[in-house]
């Protein structure tokens, strides 16, 4: 085994995940080397949910020692290493390129283990964080750590050993990118994550006849699951589709193409605009919505 990706938190923090009605396709087990303040942990989780969860990958967060059962199709184990608090920010001189995170491979294949070097990120950002409002400093630092974690999860979930030309999947981060209010995956990488999610969701159903009726491919690849969940159960970004009600193909087509509507604007803000769908694909989605409400 060797670490393939050099990208240039191990003990008690457990990320709580709200209960979901549907299966969580991805369980993330995490462990920190040193305990971190709650604000930092909350910011890490929120940023990862914003970057990964909105592509359709609904995440169940667990501590590494958590023995409770969670139905899932895939998982990853992440070790957060180093000092994860912001005490004593006076030491920040860096004379070499920093490695912020790593994903593991074995025999040339990605395996679902990653390290996030929280202490190194702290050093990398220390000087810039001194100018940040003290009340916001922990949140902004946690958000930066979440972006490094999202980068490593991209390698695992997309099964991609390469890097994107820009955005969160890029090979290197700058201080400005880690601290910026706007930093997301590029559309190409969002598409890769969606594409890899389709077979994962379909595996959740033992009976082949149920698969396309429960989770139509276009629902995931078109980006709908990013806001509404893999089976329309709803997320923090979009309502449960059983509540939203069914729509005809024409009604759905209008919603998907009108930039003045709230749904369209929110998708744009989240960098989740859908590809142009064919009429038959829109009809398939409309049929899925109707089945959810029967």
- Per-residue H/E/C for 211-265: HHHHCCHHHHHCCHHHHHCCCCCCCCCCCCHHHHCCCCHHHHHHHHHCCCCHHHH
Residues 6+ apart with CB under 8 A from 177: 147, 183
Q: Are residues 159 and 73 in the same domain?
A: yes
Q: Are residues 141 and 88 in the same domain?
A: yes
Q: Are residues 118 and 258 in the same domain?
A: no
User: What count of other Cβ atoms lies within 10 Å of the Cβ of residue 252?
Assistant: 17
Could you tell me the pLDDT band of residue 51, with boundaries at 50, 70 and 90?
very high
Q: Which helix (H) or strand (E) holds 40?
A: helix 38-51
Write phi, then psi, for 110 (nearest 5 degrees). Answer: -65, 135
**Tally of domains within the chain:** 2
Q: Are residues 158 and 275 in the same domain?
A: no
CA–CA dist 152, 161 (Å, integer): 10
Q: Are residues 154 and 258 in the same domain?
A: no
Q: Are strands 109-117 and 101-106 parallel, antiparallel or unpaired?
A: antiparallel
Q: Are residues 182 and 223 in the same domain?
A: no
CATH number at residue 273: 1.10.760
CATH number at residue 26: 3.40.390
Q: In terms of residue numbers, what domain contains 159?
A: 2-187
CA–CA dist 279, 276 (Å, integer): 10
Highest mean pLDDT among 156-160, 252-256, 263-267: 156-160
Q: Are residues 9 and 113 in the same domain?
A: yes
The verdict on residue 162 lying in a domain is yes
The verdict on residue 217 lying in a domain is yes
pLDDT tens profile 126-149: 888 988 888 899 999 999 999 999
Q: What is the pTM of this model?
A: 0.77
Q: Are residues 159 and 254 in the same domain?
A: no
Q: Are residues 216 and 165 in the same domain?
A: no
Q: Are residues 175 and 216 in the same domain?
A: no
Q: Are residues 269 and 156 in the same domain?
A: no
pLDDT tens profile 102-113: 999 999 999 999
Q: Are residues 259 and 221 in the same domain?
A: yes
3-state DSSP assignment of residue 117:
strand
């Amino acid at each position: 085994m060797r670490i393939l990706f050099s990208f240039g938190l191990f003990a008690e923090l457990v990320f709580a995940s709200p209960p979901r009605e549907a299966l969580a396709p991805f369980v993330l087990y995490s462990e920190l080397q040193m305990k971190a303040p709650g604000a930092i942990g909350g910011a890490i989780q929120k940023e990862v949910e914003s970057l990964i969860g909105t592509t359709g990958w609904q995440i169940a967060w667990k501590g590494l020692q958590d023995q409770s059962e969670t139905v899932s199709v895939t998982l990853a184990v992440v070790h957060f290493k180093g000092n994860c608090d912001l005490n004593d920010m006076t030491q920040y001189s860096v004379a070499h390129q920093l490695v912020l995170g790593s994903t593991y491979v074995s025999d040339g294949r990605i395996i679902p283990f990653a390290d996030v070097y929280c202490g190194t990120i702290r050093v990398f950002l220390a000087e810039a964080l001194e100018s940040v409002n003290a009340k916001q400093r922990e949140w902004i630092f946690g958000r930066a750590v979440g972006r490094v974690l999202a980068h490593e999860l991209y390698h695992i979930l997309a099964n991609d050993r390469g890097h994107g030309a820009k955005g969160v999947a890029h090979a290197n981060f700058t201080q400005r990118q880690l601290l910026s209010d706007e930093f997301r995956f590029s559309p190409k990488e969002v598409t890769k994550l969606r594409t890899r999610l389709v077979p994962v969701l379909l595996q959740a159903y033992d009976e082949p006849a149920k698969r396309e009726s429960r989770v139509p491919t276009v629902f995931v690849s078109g980006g709908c699951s990013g806001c509404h969940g893999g089976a329309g159960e709803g997320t923090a970004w979009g309502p449960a589709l059983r509540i939203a009600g069914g729509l005809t193909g024409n009604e759905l087509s209008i919603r998907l193409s009108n930039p003045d509507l709230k749904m369209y604007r929110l998708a744009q803000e989240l960098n989740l605009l859908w590809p142009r769908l064919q009429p038959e694909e829109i009809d398939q989605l409309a049929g899925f919505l109707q089945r959810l409400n029967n």
